[in-house]
Amino acid sequence: MPVTFAPRWKEELVCRMDGHAFIIEMTMGIAHVYLPDEAKWEAHAPDWAKGQWQRVLDDLERWCAGQSLPLTVDGNMWVHFEAEC
């Protein structure tokens, strides 16, 4: 099942996968999505998200392309993992 994405207020992109959620930055003034690099993802990921970075990137690239939004992968970006969806 693909990762799903939904923008929300406060410049956040809510991402859901396998019954869990995480949030990454999505600027709204000039729309742009940011994903931390794999090293930062793995350093902060709970067990359910470990090893899932490439899957997220692949689905996020497709979603961003469909929305005509630029995507940047950068080790300085943040991700917030939620406990439950």
Element (H, E) at 82: strand 79-82
Is 5:15 a contact under the CB 8 Å cutoff? Answer: yes
| Every domain of the chain and the residues it spans | 4-82
**Whether pLDDT at 85 is above 80:** no
Dump pLDDT digits (tens) for 33-67.
999 999 999 999 999 999 999 999 999 999 999 99
Backbone angles phi, psi at 64, to 5 degrees: -60, -40
Dump pLDDT digits (tens) for 3-28.
999 999 889 999 999 999 999 999 98
- pLDDT band for position 29 (50/70/90)? confident
What pLDDT does 84 receive?
61
